[in-house]
Structure 1
């Protein structure tokens, strides 16, 4: 995982209300050799039957939904405020119409089969 340090959910000190509701996140999945992402400001983290979980909601009309539904994995990526412009763009443009990830200046990397973005390494440290 490049220069990443694993943070166990129990050790997370960030406010999930701020991370998701204010700072936003990217929901990203790969399907049929393609990757798509969308900005989200809803979802959450918790514990369900003694298991740590993350949950998201994707409207059926969103192009990203077929990627999330077609994959066993997806990533939730959190950036600092310096990426707000990119996150706003990724939430309004459709990956069906263009390569919005490249246009936003993000670089897709993989951890196994799970896509995420290289630029997050310079965010939240």
Structure 2
């Protein structure tokens, strides 16, 4: 693992409205050894029935949805403004067409078999609760 430090959800100092709506996030999952990501400016962080939750909404036709559907874990990563161009690219290009992670030069790391990006300022490792 890189320089990340594990913290409790209650310790997140950033405003979730700014993190997701203004700064954007990368939703990243792995399926059969391949990692895919997409940019999102929607979703949320909160508490539901006493549990910390993150929720994302992905259109059925998105390639990343296939990855999310086939795994129990995914990550939400947040970046400094310096990476806006890379996040914009990941929102425009499909992983079906090209390896966009290689194109932007991000480094994939794993925590508990969940991919996230070393370049992120914060990574939230999520486990689906269905």
Q: TM-score, normalised by structure 2?
A: 0.90
1:6-85 paired onto structure 2 within 5 Å:
6-85=6-85
What is the alpha-carbon distance in structure 1 between the residues aligned to residue 95 and residue 53 of structure 2? Answer: 27
Specify the alignment match of 1:2 in structure 2.
2
Which string of whole-angstrom CA distances, capped at 9 and with x for unpartnered residues, describes residues 39-65 of structure 1?
Answer: 000000111111101000000010000
Q: Mark the runs of 5 or more structure 2 residues left unpaired by the alignment.
A: 123-130
State the Cα distance separating 1:70 from its structure 2 match: 0.4
What is the alpha-carbon distance in structure 2 between the residues aligned to residue 100 and residue 72 of structure 1? Answer: 23
Contact 2:28 2:74 in 1 (8 A): yes
The count of residues paired between Structure 1 and Structure 2 equals 122
Higher helix share: 1
Runs of 4 or more consecutive aligned structure 1 residues displaced over 3 Å after TM superposition: none
Which string of whole-angstrom CA distances, capped at 9 and with x for unpartnered residues, describes residues 97-122 of structure 1?
Answer: 111001011111111210001112xx
State the Cα distance separating 1:7 from its structure 2 match: 2.2
How big is the alpha-carbon RMSD for the aligned residues of Structure 1 and Structure 2?
1.0
Give the secondary structure class of the aligned counterpart of 2:2.
coil
Which string of whole-angstrom CA distances, capped at 9 and with x for unpartnered residues, describes residues 30-85 of structure 1?
Answer: 01111100000000011111110100000001000000010010000000100000
Q: TM-score, normalised by structure 1?
A: 0.93
Higher strand share: 2
